[in-house]
């Protein structure tokens, strides 16, 4: 441990770091973009929707004028797009220090018999939820390994751990991402730390839960859905030197919901 550092506060700073966040055009991804920039990081925002992505970037930039904020419109489920994300990021910066795999794909299967789910329902979730994070980890991880190291944070879900109605495909692919997290943590240590964050139901609107979200509220001890900014603290911990001895782990930020 560096005795000159104030580990009670300074270790949580991200000064001098570059963070890349996928699914950054809304909700948790947008919240983390604001949080990481405020903590000192330059941020690359990635999402499929250009208009909304640029609006988030402008908001982050306005709040953090000293930070460099870049955007890449891309689909992490498409191999060519991932290659472009990696190449563009490395053209802008010597390396990315923090990768947050937040983008996800989920199919509607609430009325499907589990024994009758067609193959096409699996394709997009597999590409986005597993292959996308793996490809980004490989491409950005090469520079992390050769450079200053880094931190990878994979966003999971409670349905990756316990069966949840209507989430067979989504939960299965996220469960695979959890195992990938653990494998990467072992094989990429000590240069790269790889951890996971599992939010509960989170909404950027701040409105009371409705529909399916309302139905699960009785299982949430905190009695409400979460807000994007409530994910920032855990994510900054995993991204920062404060978590320098933490890898292959998961933090649940779900209001205490047991799933």
Over range 1-14, report the average pLDDT. Answer: 73
CA-based end-to-end distance of the chain: 38
pLDDT tens sequence across 69-116 = 999 999 999 999 999 999 999 999 999 999 999 999 999 887 899 999
Q: Quickly name the fold that domain 10-253 has.
A: Rossmann fold (3.40.50)
Domain parsing of the chain, residue ranges: 10-253
Backbone angles phi, psi at 240, to 5 degrees: -100, 175
Residue 213 vs residue 165, higher pLDDT: 165
For 194, how many CA atoms within 13 A lie in the half-sphere containing its CB?
28
pLDDT for 108 equals 83
What three-state secondary structure class fits 25? coil
> Whole-prediction pTM value?
0.95
Q: How far apart are CA 124 and CA 103, in angstroms?
A: 12
pLDDT for 1 equals 42
Whether 6 shows a pLDDT value over 90: the answer reads: no
**Are the C-beta atoms of residues 192 and 150 closer than 8 Å to each other?**
yes
pLDDT for 141 equals 98
Backbone angles phi, psi at 40, to 5 degrees: 115, 0
From residue 183, alpha-carbon distances to 12, 186, 195 in Å are 25, 5, 10
Whether 5 shows a pLDDT value over 60: the answer reads: no
pLDDT tens sequence across 181-229 = 999 999 999 999 999 999 999 998 766 666 667 777 888 999 999 999 9
Active-site amino acid positions = 170
């Amino acid at each position: 441990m560096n005795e000159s550092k104030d580990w009670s506060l300074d270790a949580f700073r991200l000064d001098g770091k570059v963070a890349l966040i996928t699914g950054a055009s809304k909700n948790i991804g947008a919240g983390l973009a604001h949080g990481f920039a405020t903590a000192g990081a330059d941020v690359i925002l990635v999402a499929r929707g250009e208009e909304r992505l640029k609006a988030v970037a402008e908001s982050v930039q306005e709040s953090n004028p000293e930070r460099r904020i870049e955007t890449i419109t891309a689909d992490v489920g498409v191999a060519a797009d991932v290659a472009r994300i990696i190449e563009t990021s490395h053209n802008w910066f010597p390396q990315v220090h923090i990768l947050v795999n937040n983008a996800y794909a989920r199919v509607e299967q609430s009325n499907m018999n589990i024994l009758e789910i067609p193959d096409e329902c699996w394709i997009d979730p597999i590409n986005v939820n597993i292959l996308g994070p793996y490809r980004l980890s490989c491409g950005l991880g090469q520079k992390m390994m050769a450079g200053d190291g880094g931190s990878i944070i994979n966003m999971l879900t409670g349905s990756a751990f316990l069966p949840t109605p209507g989430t067979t495909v989504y939960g299965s692919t996220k469960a695979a991402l959890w195992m990938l997290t653990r494998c990467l943590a072992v094989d990429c240590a000590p240069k790269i730390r790889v951890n996971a964050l599992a939010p509960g139901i989170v909404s950027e609107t701040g409105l009371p839960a409705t529909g399916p979200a309302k139905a699960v509220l009785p299982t949430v001890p905190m009695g409400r859905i979460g807000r994007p900014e409530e994910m920032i603290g855990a994510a900054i911990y995993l991204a920062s030197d404060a978590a320098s001895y933490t890898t292959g782990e998961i933090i649940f930020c779900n209001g205490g919901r047991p799933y």
